[in-house]
């Protein structure tokens, strides 16, 4: 059966439990659902908010390419990716990746792959808004994220 | 001369002071790297945005490209910093 692929780029919050239930309910073959949620954090009270800018159109297309690759590489029953844009307060969910498979290994690996690729390929940028009211910096990309993404290229 | 739509994001957008613009690109500019170098000469804002051209990424028609990518036929070219989503 074709895997059920759901991905959204949206301003609205998402409901993690609802998305997990939807994947778990895909059928009797589903033996494992894994999910990752990335949240906005306050950096010890330093940050008031993170503003997520995105490239409308390309964000959807790039996530579409990444999810297609995930379902070709792993035997998944379904996957869900939701990436938000706009102003995030500490504690707000920014990104959700959830995968369903018969076995846990494919579900875990596909979710990790999706996150690594979203971090380095999906056109989103974070800007800090500081608690003291001053305009903060653009968050810098981490070399660690590129390394994490590149490990999926040497194996297939 | 070819007219191309350019789009800027994050600090590239802030430094240039524009979210998008249409520019007439001379025929001698054939690659993304050449386009960035040509833009650098358009003023201080552009020079600042592209002061370290190795950092700035590009997409042609909403697909990631390398600096040596040819711009012929492009409808829309975007310049932006390394991505920090997720």
List, in order of start, the domains of chain B with CATH numbers.
2-80 (3.10.20.30)
pLDDT for position A65: 96
- The β-bridge partners of A5 are A79
CB atoms within 10 A of CB A105: 12
Average pLDDT in the A124-132 region?
94
A115: domain CATH number is: 3.90.1170.40
- In which residue are the tokens 């804002």 written? B45
Q: Residue B15 has what DSSP assignment?
A: H
- In which residue are the tokens 């800018």 written? A53
Evaluated on CA atoms A41, A45, A47, A48, the torsion sign reads positive
Could you tell me which chain A residue has the CA closest to the CA of B7? A55
Evaluated on CA atoms A42, A134, A145, A98, the torsion sign reads positive
Confidence of residue A20 (pLDDT cuts 50, 70, 90): very high
* Residue whose C-alpha is closest to residue A121's, from A145, A92, A98: A145
ipTM: 0.95
Would the pLDDT of A54 be above 50? yes
- In which residue are the tokens 């996957």 written? A79
Interval A95-120: pLDDT, tens? 999 999 999 999 999 999 999 999 99
Alpha-carbon distance A26 to nearest alpha carbon in chain B (angstroms): 26
Backbone angles phi, psi at B7, to 5 degrees: -125, 140
Contact state of B83 with A141 under an 8 Å Cβ cutoff = yes
Residue at A79 is within a domain? yes
Of B7, B63, B85, the CB nearest to A124: B85
| CB hemisphere CA count around A108 (13 angstroms) | 3
Tally of domains in chain A: 1
Residue at A155 is within a domain? no
Would the pLDDT of A152 be above 80? yes
Write out the residue range of the structural domain in which residue A45 sits.
4-150
Would the pLDDT of A146 be above 90? no
> Is the CB of A122 inside 8 Å of chain B's CB atoms?
yes
pLDDT for position A134: 81
Percent of chain A, pLDDT > 90?
82
Average pLDDT in the A89-94 region?
97
Residue at A156 is within a domain? no
Residue at A44 is within a domain? yes
pLDDT for position A154: 64
Q: Are strands B2-8 and B76-80 parallel, antiparallel or unpaired?
A: parallel
Confidence of residue A155 (pLDDT cuts 50, 70, 90): low
* Residue whose C-alpha is closest to residue B6's, from B83, B66, B80: B80
**Residue ranges for chain B with pLDDT beneath 50:** none
């Amino acid at each position: 059966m074709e895997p059920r692929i759901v991905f959204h780029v949206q301003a609205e919050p998402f409901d993690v439990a609802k998305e997990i239930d939807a994947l778990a309910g895909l059928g009797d073959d589903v033996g494992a659902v894994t999910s990752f949620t990335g949240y906005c954090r306050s950096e010890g009270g330093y940050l008031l908010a993170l503003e997520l800018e995105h490239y409308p159109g390309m964000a959807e297309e790039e996530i579409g390419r990444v999810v297609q690759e995930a379902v070709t590489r792993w035997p998944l029953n379904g996957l869900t990716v939701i990436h938000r844009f706009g102003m995030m307060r500490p504690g707000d969910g920014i990104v959700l990746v959830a995968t369903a498979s018969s076995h846990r290994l494919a579900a875990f690996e596909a979710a990790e792959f999706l996150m690594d690729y979203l971090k380095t390929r999906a056109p989103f940028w974070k800007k800090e808004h500081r608690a003291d009211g001053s305009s903060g910096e653009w968050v810098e990309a981490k070399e660690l994220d590129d390394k994490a993404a590149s490990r999926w290229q040497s194996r297939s | 001369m070819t007219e191309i739509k350019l789009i800027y994001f994050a600090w590239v957008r802030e430094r240039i002071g524009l979210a998008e613009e249409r520019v007439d690109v001379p025929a001698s500019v054939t690659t993304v790297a050449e386009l960035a170098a040509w833009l650098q000469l358009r003023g201080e804002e552009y020079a600042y945005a592209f002061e370290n051209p190795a950092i700035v990424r590009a997409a042609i028609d909403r697909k990631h490209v390398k600096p040596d990518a040819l711009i012929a036929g492009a409808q829309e070219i975007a310049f932006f910093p390394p991505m920090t989503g997720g």
